[in-house]
Amino acid sequence: MDKFKDVGIDEDTRLIEEKILKYKDIDVLYQKWVWEGVIGNSLIFTKEDIKKFNIHNIIDEMEIIKNKNKITTNKNDKFYFINFDFEVM
């Protein structure tokens, strides 16, 4: 989990669950969160790890992603985020 120690979370976001999952041979940080009345999920990859894979393949192959049509992605200087399965509370 050390490689994800700098992920952080926005002040107005509440973390519900967090755990390490595997994609192929790499660790991926999974987070379930609530933000402004929306429950969502994120898979977080280091930018170094994500370079090894095609993002569309990851989305197709990760069984935790139920709705593969409503996904957002974003990145910062260290991490790549795949956000998915949003629901309004």
Specify the CATH number for the domain of residue 47: 3.30.200
Which amino acid, one-letter code, is at 28? V
- pLDDT for res 14: 96
Based on the structure, what is the number of domains in the chain? Answer: 1
Range of the domain at 54: 2-88
* Ordered per-residue pLDDT tens for the chain, 89 residues: 689 999 988 899 999 999 999 999 999 999 999 999 999 999 999 999 999 999 999 999 999 999 999 999 999 999 999 999 999 98
